[in-house]
Chains A and B, each alone.
Chain A
């Protein structure tokens, strides 16, 4: 049981390049999330999805797009990478229902550097 898997683990991009981060979960969770973690800022929600085919904006969505074509996958895209998007990105998934059924399950993170 892999849980939440993020691909890739590390990436260096040049400003203006595009890329897609892949998140896959094998727990049949309805909800999936993308967070970014910056020093001194904690984790901030970028986008989330409450089910296959649905996505919604979080706190810091600008510069990112997402897609949830399959229940188990949640993709985060950077169309034109900027140095301000240098960060560690975490994907998470969770069940429906009350908080007693949580926590969110997190991937190991993707460290992304934009030069």
Chain B
């Protein structure tokens, strides 16, 4: 069975602070894919990043960066110099390659509030 755990239910920071959202996953598949999605207050789901299990390079995109560590089964997301527009619910998700390769398993999400 696959599982994604986002232990932080809610995080509140002040603008310009750095913030890290944690994601820990469980899977028996040797090939798998990890995703982060953003859900702003308007409600739509916005794709942020995809990482496959063979690529452990960290990625940076502007103020966003992702740290993938297979040894600890974690795929953490850091926002540098947070802004009010970053306020949203963030979901980590996992896609396997075996019998469950058709679907995404989502974590419960982390509500990030960035205060001015």
Contacts and interface: CB of A to CB of B under 8 A. Distances in A.
Nearest to B48: A103
A58 B103 CA distance: 9
B6 to A, nearest CB: 8
Interface stretch (B14-22, B57-65, B74-82, B105-113): B105-113
B32 A103 contact: no
A31 B9 CA distance: 30
Contact of A106 (B32, B45, B107, B108): B45
A104 B43 contact: no
A41 B108 CA distance: 5
Contacts of A109: 43-44
Contact of B102 (A31, A44, A103): A31
Nearest to B101: A99
B9 to A, nearest CB: 7
Contacts of B97: 98-99
A102 B43 contact: no
A42 B95 contact: no
Contact of A40 (B91, B95, B108): B108
A100 B33 contact: yes
Interface string A102-115: 11101011010000
Chain A interface size, as a band, is: 20 to 34
A88 interface: yes
B9 A43 contact: no
Interface string B47-71: 1001010000000000000000000
Interface in B8-37: 9, 32-33, 35, 37
Contact of B95 (A44, A102, A106, A108): A102
A90 B45 contact: yes
A102 B48 CA distance: 12
A88 B91 contact: no
Interface in A28-46: 31, 33, 40-45
B1 to A, nearest CB: 11
